[in-house]
Structure 1
C-alpha cells in the first residue's frame, strides 16, 4: 500500500518528480544543546525555588537543635504549543512507495527543525516564528534580562568577559555561567581577533586559533557554547541585534516536552486557511508539539549590537 494512499486515479501530468529534495540549512535548537530537557506532565508545572538555602548546624551532645529552614517560593512553567503545516501537490501520492517514504521523511525532518527553532525563538525572544512578531502576552523569556552589554569595541572577547561579570557578580541573583549561545556574526568576530604587538598593532596571528573561522564553536574560554542564528532571531524575524547570551543554562531554564504528536497527513478540508485541499489538488503534512518552560532571566546576560 502506498504511504500517502489515493482513492481517485488520475492521469499524471507529463513531468517527473526528481529524487531527493533541496533544503536550506537551518540550525536546530541552541536551548536543547545547552540545557537538558526534563520530563513534564501536560499543563502548568510548579517548581519550588529556595530563596534562602537551609544551613546545617553542628549540635553538641545534649544541646537543643535550632531552626535551619530556608525560605522558598514557587514558579510555574507554562505550556506553549507549536505546529508546522506544510502543503504540497498531491501528485507526490502517485510516485512509487520508496519515493513517498523519502519525501515524508524529508518533510518531517524539515518540520522538526522548525519546531526545534520555535523553542529558541519563543524561550529566548518570545517571537512567533511564522509571523516574526513578538507575542506580547508572554512575559517569561531570556532577553527580558536587564543585564546587557552593548558592543562598543572590536574586542569581542572583552564583551564576553563583561557579560559574564554581570552574571557572576550579581549579589542579588548570584549565578554561575554554564553556557553561551552565539550568533554566527559574533562567532566570526571572536574567531577574527588577533594577538597584538608591543605597540598595540594586530600581529596577524589569531588570538583564539582553536576557533578556526568560527563556523562550529563548541566552547569558548572554558564555557560550553553553541552557535546558531536563533540568537539574533533571523530569518524568521527581523534581526534582534542580540549577538550572544551567557548564563546559567543548566539551572536558569526548566523546560520539557509535554506532548509530541505523531506526523499527521491531511487530505481534506482547509487546515491552515489557505483554501480547500481537494480544490487545490493538495495534501498537507502537520507536526505539533507542546513545550513547557520557565526561565530565570536574572541568571543571563545578553551581548547586543548597537541599534
Structure 2
C-alpha cells in the first residue's frame, strides 16, 4: 500500500523509520543523551518520593523496637503532546513509491529533529517551540532551579562549572552530579582556556586538548556531557542566557515516550489554519508524540551569562 494513499486516514510509520526517529531524537536531545527514557503508560504517572529517608535501628536482645522515622511523598509526571504538521502538493500522491518513500524519510528526519528539540525546550525552559512563548501554566521545568552561577566575561569557564557543581555537592545531602548539558558557546570558552606559566601568564597550551575547537563534547571533568543550543533555547525562543545545566540527569529526571509514533495523512479540512486542503490541492502529514516527564528541580544548577546592562 502506498504510504500516501488516500484510502487510509491513518497509517503506522514503517518500523525501520520509526526506530530511526527515536535514535535521532536521542542524538539531538541533550536530555535524551544524558538521561535514559523509561517505559511509561499514558496519562499522569505518580512516583513515590522519600521526603525524609527512614533510618534503621540496632535492637539489643529483649529490647523494644522504636517506630521508624521517615516521610513519604509523591510527584506526578504529566503528559505533554508535541506535533509537527507539514503540507505537500496533492500531486505528490501521483509520484512513484520510491519518491513517496523519500519524502516520508525526509519527514521522519525533520519531524524527529523538531520533536526531540521539543523535549529539551519544554523540560528546560517550558517554551512553546512553535512560537517561542513561555508556557506559564507549566510549573515543573529544570531552569526553575534557584541554584545559579553567573559566567562573567572575566571568569574562567571551568571554575564556573566547578562552582555550579559545588552548589549541588556542598550541602547537607549532596546531589550526584553525573550530567552536563552545555551550550556551544560555553564549550568554545572551555576549549579556549590555556594552562598557565609559573608567573600566572597564559602558556599557549590548551588546558583541555580533548575539546579541540569545542565543536563537540561528550565528557568534561569526568562528567558525561552533551552539547546543544536547546540549552539556551535558541533559535526557537530568544536567548535565555543559560549556557550550562549541571546536575543529576540519571535520577533527577523521570521521562518517557507514552505513545507510539503514528503518521497521519490528512486530505480534507483545515488542520493547521492555512486554508482548506481540497481547495488548495494539498495534503497534510502530521506526526505526534506524547512525552511524560517530571524533573526534580533542586537536583540541578545552571550557568548563566549576566543580562545586558547588569
Superposition TM-score, scaled by structure 2 size: 0.89
In the TM superposition, residue 27 of structure 1 has moved relative to its aligned partner by 6.7
In the TM superposition, residue 57 of structure 1 has moved relative to its aligned partner by 2.2
2:245 is aligned to 245
Q: Quick check: 1:177 aligned with 2:177?
A: yes
String of CA shifts for 1:101-120, please: whole Å, max 9, x gaps: 11101112210111111010
Q: Quick check: 1:165 aligned with 2:161?
A: no
Aligned 8 A contact 1:193 1:208 in 2: yes
SS at match of 2:279: coil
Q: How many residue pairs are counted as aligned between the two chains?
A: 288
- The separation in 2 between residues aligned to 1:241 and 1:137, in whole angstroms, is 22
Aligned 8 A contact 2:167 2:301 in 1: yes
**RMSD of the TM alignment (CA)?**
1.7
The answer to which of 291-300 and 223-232 deviates more is 291-300
In the TM superposition, residue 79 of structure 1 has moved relative to its aligned partner by 1.1
Q: Quick check: 1:186 aligned with 2:189?
A: no
SS at match of 1:278: helix
Aligned 8 A contact 1:174 1:299 in 2: no
Q: Quick check: 1:294 aligned with 2:265?
A: no
1:41 is aligned to 41
String of CA shifts for 1:25-45, please: whole Å, max 9, x gaps: x97111111111112221111
- The separation in 2 between residues aligned to 1:271 and 1:294, in whole angstroms, is 30
Mark the runs of 5 or more structure 1 residues left unpaired by the alignment. 8-25
- The separation in 1 between residues aligned to 2:91 and 2:190, in whole angstroms, is 48
The answer to which of 122-131 and 108-117 deviates more is 108-117
2:260 is aligned to 260
Aligned 8 A contact 1:27 1:228 in 2: no
- The separation in 2 between residues aligned to 1:184 and 1:200, in whole angstroms, is 27
> Using a 3 Å threshold, how does the CA distance of structure 1 residues 135 and 104 change in structure 2: closer, same or farther?
same
Q: Quick check: 1:55 aligned with 2:76?
A: no
Aligned 8 A contact 1:108 1:263 in 2: no
Q: Quick check: 1:104 aligned with 2:104?
A: yes
Superposition TM-score, scaled by structure 1 size: 0.89
> Using a 3 Å threshold, how does the CA distance of structure 1 residues 291 and 2 change in structure 2: closer, same or farther?
closer
- The separation in 1 between residues aligned to 2:294 and 2:78, in whole angstroms, is 7
Aligned 8 A contact 2:27 2:33 in 1: no
2:93 is aligned to 93
- The separation in 1 between residues aligned to 2:73 and 2:204, in whole angstroms, is 53
Higher helix proportion, which one?
2
String of CA shifts for 1:2-57, please: whole Å, max 9, x gaps: 431369xxxxxxxxxxxxxxxxxx97111111111112221111111101111222
String of CA shifts for 1:93-142, please: whole Å, max 9, x gaps: 22221111111011122101111110100000000000001001111100
Aligned 8 A contact 2:49 2:72 in 1: yes
Aligned 8 A contact 1:167 1:177 in 2: yes
SS at match of 1:115: helix
- The separation in 1 between residues aligned to 2:44 and 2:6, in whole angstroms, is 41
- The separation in 1 between residues aligned to 2:263 and 2:139, in whole angstroms, is 31
Aligned 8 A contact 1:27 1:117 in 2: no
String of CA shifts for 1:50-90, please: whole Å, max 9, x gaps: 01111222223332222224111111111111111111222
- The separation in 2 between residues aligned to 1:164 and 1:271, in whole angstroms, is 46
